[in-house]
Amino acid sequence: MLDNINFTEKKATRDGFGDGLLELGKQDDSVIALTADLLGSLKMGDFKDAFPDRFIQVGIAEANMMGIAAGLATAGKIPFTGTFANFSTGRVYDQIRQSIAYSDKNVKICASHAGLTLGEDGATHQILEDIGMMKMLPGMVVINPCDYNQTKAATIAIGKHHGPAYLRFGRPKWPIFTPADQKFEIGKALLLAEGTDVSIFATGHLVWTAVEAAKALAAQGVSCEVINIHTIKPLDEEAILASVSKTKCVVSAEEHQRNGGLGDSIAQLLARKMPCPMEYVAVNDQFGESGTSMELLEKYGLGKNDVIAAVNKVLKRK
């Protein structure tokens, strides 16, 4: 299975969002797009051109954008807000909490430039806490797709799901390795490679990193099961437990703080249902800095070699 996972093209996940939004806009005229002065960065230009009457430029006023989105949803629209992940979450947490989550508004919070791979802009913009903040809100769906195709599919899927959702994606060009026609089911993990020695649960950009690591480990005789957890909440507990019952050890991989991330959710599940050795590939209580995407992933312990090291470490603890 692993050998068949390859790529011929790289494209940013945010492009998948832009293209998914356009397609969804064609399917459903209640879809409204809003941005806070980041139209180009969020790749919302095609939607704006196709549906100018359903596009709202809010200006640099994210709190107001979240409130307006809540109002649009109240009146039966399906608003998609678009700004950087930092300004989509921490900056407007209370607006999301009260006007969207607690009020059960059908708002789709779409967040680009998440994590370290934002790169040169530095730590002010490299949010690594957003998954944690958003998954703590009751009723919030949290999705971090892994490539262009999956982000496009996830964008369409959240538009068809009723309820608040957080969709997290990124800035850099990234390998496209999932099929364009792959079905996206919210809360349903995708098995990328079967294995017997260790379960690697990855989300977002690090799914590809996990695939690369698993290929290298296979050459050393280690059989990795690689599972793409695109939906952090609701977590696919069944898929995780089914894999762990076979491998008996876990590595999680994500472009996020260890606190509050995917690994955190998995550890909670395992503590309750199936305790076993686990290692995390995540940022550990640090802010990022300026640099290229790949430099930062390496420096902060989110590279292919870090996944390999985590697997070797967890295997020794079995």
- Interface residues with another protein (CB under 8 A)? 32, 53-54, 56, 58-59, 61, 63-77, 79, 94-95, 97-99, 102-105
Q: How far is the CB of 314 from another protein (least distance, A)?
A: 41
For residue 57, which phi and psi values (nearest 5 degrees)?
Answer: -90, 115
Q: DSSP letters along 64-87, please?
A: HHHHHHHHHHHTT-EEEEEEEHHH
Nearer to another protein, 60 or 180 (CB): 60
Nearer to another protein, 70 or 156 (CB): 70
Are the C-beta atoms of 106 and 189 separated by less than 8 Å?
A: no
Show the tokens assigned to 240. Answer: 């995780």
Whole-number Å distance between alpha carbons of 251 and 279: 5
Nearer to another protein, 100 or 176 (CB): 100
Nearer to another protein, 59 or 90 (CB): 59
Q: How far is the CB of 29 from another protein (least distance, A)?
A: 9
Q: How far is the CB of 69 from another protein (least distance, A)?
A: 6
Residue type, 247: T
Closest CA to 249 of 273, 275, 226, 231: 275
Q: Is the dihedral of CA 154, 158, 109, 261 positive or negative?
A: negative
Q: How far is the CB of 103 from another protein (least distance, A)?
A: 5
Whole-number Å distance between alpha carbons of 121 and 183: 34
Q: Read off the DSSP letter of residue 117.
A: G
Q: How far is the CB of 108 from another protein (least distance, A)?
A: 14
Whole-number Å distance between alpha carbons of 108 and 72: 11
Q: How far is the CB of 316 from another protein (least distance, A)?
A: 48
Closest CA to 164 of 181, 143, 183: 143
Element (H, E) at 17: helix 13-27
Q: How far is the CB of 74 from another protein (least distance, A)?
A: 5
Nearer to another protein, 31 or 308 (CB): 31
Nearer to another protein, 97 or 299 (CB): 97
Nearer to another protein, 28 or 238 (CB): 28
- Let me know if 89 is exposed, middle or buried by CB neighbors in 10 A (0-12, 13-18, 19+): buried
Show the tokens assigned to 246. Answer: 């076979």
